[in-house]
Amino acid sequence: MYQNYIFDLYGTLVDIHTNEKKAYLWKELSLFPGVPEMLQRLKDAGKKVFLLSNAQALFTAPEISLLGLTKYFDGILLSSDAGVKKPDPAFFEMLLKQYHLNPSECLMTGNDDIADCHGAASAGIASRYVATRQSPKINGSLPENCEEIAEIAELF
């Protein structure tokens, strides 16, 4: 099945409990239930775990560390470093190339149907859509190679 699991960060693994424009946003972050356990199960099964997020490294790197997520990721690619963002297939392809990944062995999981699911599909990557309170309204339909899951913990 899948050997490489790619995750969005905010609204997928991390729950934001405040208005995104509020200062000191990091004080209002927590992991969704079951996230550490699910990531640990992936690692224990020998799977590779990656983060692909439309985010600013200046803020995101400390938040990932603060939340104890750093140890789970085999690679992290943020839009602020890449100069491109989801849903552009070039962002997904950059991750594939940088870590020598085969798209058919990858699964993208995110909470945005356009950025995460359609973006992944345009790069030949299957996906899972998880609706959270930070998810935008689904715009149309999910791609053919995307399945909806009720919560992130049921992924693996």
Domains and CATH numbers, the chain: 4-81+125-132+148-154 (3.40.50.1000)
Place of tokens 């996906």: 127
Instruction: Answer whether 144's CB lies under 8 Å from 121's CB.
Output: yes
Among 25-39, 48-62, 100-114, 140-154, the range scoring the smallest mean pLDDT is: 25-39
**3-class DSSP assignment, residue 10:** strand
Mean pLDDT check: name the lowest of 16-25, 38-47, 145-154.
Answer: 16-25
| Structure tokens given for 4 | 């490489």
Structure tokens at 62: 């400390």
pLDDT of amino acid 20: 52
Helix and strand totals (H; E) in the chain: 5, 8
Arithmetic mean of pLDDT, 108-123: 97
Q: Coil, helix or strand for 124?
A: coil
Counting Cβ atoms within 10 Å, is residue 39 exposed (0-12), middle (13-18) or buried (19+)? buried
Report the distance separating Cα 154 and Cα 55, nearest Å.
Answer: 25
Q: Kindly state the helix (H) or strand (E) to which residue 109 belongs, with its residue range.
A: strand 106-110
